[in-house]
Chains A and B, each alone.
Chain A
Amino acid sequence: MSLRQPYQADGGVRNFKDDDSDVEEEALVNDYREQVRYEDGMDDLDRTISLGGSSQQDISAQLAAAATPLEFQATLETKFASYDNYCSLFHYILNSEGPVDLEAPSYFWAWDVIDEFIYQFNSFCSYRQRVALKADNEEEIQLLRDAPNTWGCYSVLNVLYSLIQRSQISEQLAAMQRGEDPAQFAGEYGNRPLYKMLGYFSIIGLLRVHCLLGDFSLALKTLDDIELNKKAMFARVMAAHFTTYYYVGFSYMMMRRYADAIRMFSHILVYVSRTKNFQKNAQYDSITKRNDQMYALIAICVAFHPTRLDDTIHTALREKYGEQFTRMQRGGPESLPLFEELFRNACPKFISPTPPDFDNPQINVDPVEHHLAIFMDEVKNNMWSPTVKSYLKLYTTMDLKKLAGFLEVEPDKLRNWLLVNKQRSRQVRWGEGGLLDGEVVNSSDLDYALQVDLIHVSEAKVGRRLVDWYLRNLARTY
């Protein structure tokens, strides 16, 4: 993202704000600006913003509202109003003359506001899609038809990118990576905690939005500036930490980089299990569901890419998904419904960014089904690999026709399976650099080659691990 233009620069950026509500909003904000100039002597905290043209609302109440979830049964009107609320708030923060002098209500506020903003975008799009598919609520359909730009993807992305640019957070993070003082690169806005935190969490917000839209490579690319480790800024807010690893892990999984996905899920699950005793609060409760989802995803990834897991994770996985885990690892057609079930439960609530086609209700398929179908094709390609591997492990050489006899398949079919398994055992794995970097490595402990119809099998043996044992015993003797 080297070419970030300022918010209202020419070119592509203008296209972000081509919806009508922005025009209205512009008028409102101008109206507001006049008032502010008029009351210039007033205390900052007493600044008010005109909302919907009539009610005057305290800005700090608005800040708090932006970070508060909507009621579960919120009506469409509430959702529209909430969208307008966000628009005016972000417009105020981004387009006032100079940085606004605001104190964020709490340390977590910046995360909460971005989190809630995207959550509402997400649930609005899902809801709209469902309404169109069911096609039985004329009233709501009409409301949605009339407001095609509410919660539009361009406005949501516009907010996130603008916050990132305003705060110059990418420049700051790059400076931190070079070991320089980020404050030098922060500019007028980025030096204020409010902008800095909003900008930072907007990067994570982008990761999430791209993933929800099915753009997994761009999702990973977004995190180029952020180093994933426990010292990163997001690690200070548990929910942010958690969310980041979930989406990064999921994106890796969809790019078929299972080893990397497992690494991400393991990292955060170990972290959660170690810190759960200190986190007995609401924040922790809200992540329990996500936690289970990640165990399901890790089970899927391990089925694709058998590997040794951390002991704590392995135990928890057996507890939660023991039966499914074993059957998925066994493969074959019987495992397909399990993959489907776990994927459905554990995937993000994918969305389609554009308004649905209200005139053809049946084509407004839930995007989750779309991604599931794509994913299941890959599962089907792979489902014989466990069987093949379990036999090959027993031999050093084996005749293809004989093995085909054992498995009761055509030799030609078996040859295909062998090719598939060989290809899937070569995976891109991250070593250093950006998340999209990586090298192709052999990820399996079993390797083989065919000499016409003779399969030569070789195994990568893992030597004994002595260092841990040695260190543990040394520590005991001291």
Chain B
Amino acid sequence: MGVPFDYAPDRPEHIDVILNGLDRYNPETTAVFQDYVMQQCENQTYDCYANLALLKLYQFNPHLTRDETITNILVKSLTVFPSPDFSLCLSLLPPHILTPHAASLSAPAAGDASLPEAVQKLNVLNNLLGGADYAGFWAELDSDDLYADLVADVSGFEELMRVRIAVTVSQAMRAVKRSVLEAWLNLFGSGFEHFVGEVCGWVVEGDTVKVPLNKENEAKGTVVRENVKFDQFSRLIKRAYEQPA
């Protein structure tokens, strides 16, 4: 079933009101949206459309920008890959954010990473996910302490990512080698068995993991048939009436 892009099941009423009115441009609502982002991070809910509205407010009022909120939004949007949300968020950030020298230019004191640096780091993760290089994703995530800081606010980040990866696996595979899946999920031993068995409902048999058949991974050949509508014949029938036989 499809849902419209701007729909979020858990969106509170007052956010909906702001999004549908002109208050979405009102800098005073920034605080409301920021709280909402925090809330999404805490309860593992997600509302891309509202987060984009906040990024737009930042775009229009750069002095209100809060780096931490931006990175939280980006991290949240990673948890719904392979949807384009991360890219859509990036599009609303300042144009220099992805250029290499911007990262070194505005390095703030106290050893904190600058916003461009953080965003570029997250973009690396996004590209690994986009290329379905899940083992690479976990390795990268583990390679720099900065990542731990960036994802710290998003509760259950690793779990959310594993579920997401499992979903993409279930779409493409009927059975997969245990070692491959372990690397993709970054889970080993009993943790792996628990996740695969309890959360996904898959079966571990020796060194393979069986994924039950679903609509996506059965890959059945189909024949697309023409869908003929009566309307297509309307002219013909009209003509038949008009012309005396």
Contact = CB atoms under 8 A, between A and B. Distances in A.
A256 interface: yes
Given A12-B28, A12-B29, A221-B6, A256 B84 contact: yes
Interface in A419-478: 419-420, 422-424, 426, 428, 431, 433-434, 436-440, 447-453, 456-467, 471, 474-475, 478
Interface in B213-227: 216-226
Contact of B173 (A221, A369, A450): A450
Contact of B219 (A367, A447, A474): A447
B27 interface: yes
Contact of A465 (B26, B226, B233): B226
Interface in A191-213: 213
A366 B95 contact: yes
Q: Chain A: interface secondary structure?
A: mixed
B59 A217 contact: no
A462 B92 contact: no
A120 B146 CA distance: 43
A255 B105 contact: no
Interface in A8-54: 11-13, 15-16
B174 interface: yes
- Sorting the interface of chain A by its residue count into under 10, 10 to 19, 20 to 34 or 35 or more gives 35 or more
B98 A374 contact: yes
B223 A374 contact: no
Interface stretch (B70-78, B127-135, B194-202): B127-135
Given A2-B21, A5-B21, A11-B26, A364 B131 contact: no
A461 B221 contact: yes
A457 B220 CA distance: 8
A453 B177 CA distance: 8
Interface stretch (A68-76, A298-306, A376-384): A376-384
B20 A450 contact: no
Interface in B1-57: 1-2, 4-6, 17, 20-29, 48-49, 52-53, 56
A218 B29 contact: no
A401 to B, nearest CB: 12
A15 B105 CA distance: 32
B1 A367 contact: no
Contacts of B101: 362
User: Taking chain B's interface residues, is the majority helix, strand, or loop, or is none over half, making it mixed?
Assistant: helix
Contacts of A367: 95
Interface string B114-149: 000000000100110011110100000000000000
A4 interface: yes
Contacts of A190: none
A99 interface: no
B232 interface: yes
Given A12-B21, A449-B173, A416 B224 contact: no
Given A12-B25, A256-B84, A447-B219, A381 B131 contact: yes
User: Which one of B53, B98, B219 has the highest number of Cβ atoms from chain A below 10 Å of its Cβ?
Assistant: B219
Interface string B97-109: 1110110011000
Contact of A217 (B5, B95, B130, B168): B5
Contacts of A213: 56, 59, 92
Contacts of B21: 1-5, 12
A12 B53 CA distance: 14
Nearest to B131: A381
Nearest to A384: B131
B208 interface: yes
Interface-central residue, B29, B133, B168, B177, by most chain A CB under 10 Å: B133
B25 A378 contact: no
B110 interface: no
Interface stretch (A232-240, A274-282, A352-360): A352-360
A471 B4 CA distance: 37
Determine which residue in B5, B24, B98 has the highest number of CB atoms from chain A within 10 A of its CB, and name it: B5
B94 interface: yes
Interface string A401-430: 000000000001001111110111010100
A375 B220 CA distance: 33
Contacts of A318: none
Nearest to A210: B56
A290 interface: no
A206 to B, nearest CB: 12
28 contacts: A1-B21, A2-B20, A3-B20, A3-B23, A5-B21, A12-B23, A154-B25, A214-B92, A217-B88, A218-B52, A221-B6, A354-B62, A362-B105, A363-B105, A364-B95, A374-B98, A412-B135, A416-B132, A419-B172, A423-B132, A426-B216, A440-B2, A450-B176, A453-B177, A461-B221, A463-B223, A475-B239, A478-B239
4 A-B pairs with the lowest CB-CB distances in the bound complex, closest first: A12-B26, A3-B21, A439-B2, A419-B132
Given A15-B28, A370-B96, 20 more contacts: A3-B21, A154-B25, A154-B60, A213-B92, A256-B84, A362-B101, A374-B87, A374-B98, A381-B131, A428-B2, A431-B2, A436-B4, A437-B2, A439-B2, A440-B2, A456-B219, A458-B221, A467-B232, A471-B232, A475-B239
Interface of A: 1-5, 11-13, 15-16, 153-154, 157, 161, 213-218, 220-221, 254-256, 350, 352-354, 360, 362-367, 369-371, 373-375, 377-378, 380-381, 412, 415-420, 422-424, 426, 428, 431, 433-434, 436-440, 447-453, 456-467, 471, 474-475, 478
Interface of B: 1-2, 4-6, 17, 20-29, 48-49, 52-53, 56, 59-60, 62, 82, 84, 87-88, 90-92, 94-99, 101-102, 105-106, 123, 126-127, 130-133, 135, 168-169, 171-177, 180, 208, 216-226, 228, 232-233, 235-236, 239, 243
